[in-house]
């Protein structure tokens, strides 16, 4: 991929998917899922100010995805270097054993990566994004480049949908509900906001959080205690959300364009605008 086009480029699945309206829901689903790994969530809680600056953390994560997806290669690599440098200096402590461990442990990074990629795939497919199995495989393989940015080797993470499924099957015995997971669960459903925004949180954000929870696999919801909306509402709810927000997307981009997408279009031309219609055409053998 060229320096100007970045890590993925307009011909990738990643380029088209990451601009889809349901990616915000997918990101919240990833946070629910990531919190079920006790060591991973402990590392976040012990080294994060998400309770004091919840929206800042969410927007910084979204900005990282935007830069690494649509930015030129040098910007994506700079963002990866910054993340690796921050993680290298952070440690977490197991309260039961007193063990201190690095938060950039490859096993923890692999879990965060797979929970995110799996969430993006699952929510997009449930919402009606035109994903064939071949496109899903291509997306998982493309995301190995993202894994390399945070310090993993490409071969250390799944490269296909089947590999990703096997990874989740293998790691499930290590997952559990914890006090820290409960903190994340409560935070995602009712993040602190100024008094004037409480109604908006309950009317708008709560719907995003509920749909994200409903979109989790059943085994994850069993660990949480099967609270919230049932799985049966996830697919129709996500399809309606994607249709409504998708219809408003041209207006949203005209009024407040994504700086990352706008920058990519300035560099590469208007044909670089993300759209499911521009997904690569893959045959059954691809």
Residues of the chain with pLDDT under 70: 1, 49-56, 193-203, 251, 254-255, 283-286
Interatomic CA distance for residues 143 and 30, integer angstroms: 15
Average pLDDT taken over every residue of the chain: 89
* Domain around 180: 13-268
Residue 282 lies in a domain: no
Residue 67 lies in a domain: yes
Q: Are 112 and 34 in contact (CB under 8 A)?
A: yes
Residue 5 lies in a domain: no
Residue 200 lies in a domain: yes
pTM: 0.91
Residue 280 lies in a domain: no
Q: Are 136 and 161 in contact (CB under 8 A)?
A: yes
Residue 276 lies in a domain: no
Total of domains in the chain: 1
| Model confidence pLDDT, tens digit, residues 45-72 | 888 766 666 666 777 888 999 999 999 9
Residue 225 lies in a domain: yes
Q: Are 231 and 218 in contact (CB under 8 A)?
A: yes
The token pair at 238 is 């996500």
pLDDT for res 1: 56
277 — phi, psi (to 5°)? -65, -15
Residue 8 lies in a domain: no
């Amino acid at each position: 991929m060229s320096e100007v086009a970045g890590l993925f480029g307009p011909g990738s699945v990643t380029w088209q998917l990451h601009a889809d309206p349901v990616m915000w829901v997918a990101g919240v689903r990833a946070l629910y899922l990531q919190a079920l790994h006790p060591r991973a969530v402990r590392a976040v809680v012990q080294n994060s100010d998400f309770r004091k600056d919840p929206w800042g953390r969410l927007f910084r994560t979204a900005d990282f995805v935007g830069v690494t997806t649509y930015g030129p290669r040098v910007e994506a690599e700079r963002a990866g270097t910054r993340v690796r440098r921050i993680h290298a200096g952070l440690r977490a402590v197991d309260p039961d054993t007193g063990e201190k461990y690095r938060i950039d442990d490859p096993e923890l990074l692999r879990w965060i990566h797979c929970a995110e990629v799996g969430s993006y795939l699952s929510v997009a497919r449930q919402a009606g994004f035109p994903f064939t199995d071949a496109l899903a495989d291509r997306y998982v393989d493309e995301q190995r480049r993202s894994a390399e940015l945070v310090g993993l080797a490409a071969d250390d993470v799944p490269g296909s949908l089947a590999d990703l499924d096997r990874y989740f099957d293998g790691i499930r015995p290590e997952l559990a509900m914890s006090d820290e997971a409960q903190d994340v669960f409560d935070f995602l459903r009712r993040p602190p906001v100024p008094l004037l925004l409480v109604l908006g949180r309950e009317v708008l954000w709560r719907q995003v959080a509920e749909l994200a929870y409903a979109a989790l696999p059943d085994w994850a919801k069993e660990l949480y205690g099967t609270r919230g909306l049932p799985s049966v509402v996830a697919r129709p709810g996500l399809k309606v959300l994607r249709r409504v927000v998708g219809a408003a997307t041209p207006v949203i981009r005209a009024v407040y364009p994504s700086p990352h997408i706008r920058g990519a279009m300035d560099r590469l031309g208007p044909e670089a605008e993300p759209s499911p219609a521009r997904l690569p055409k893959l045959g059954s053998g691809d």
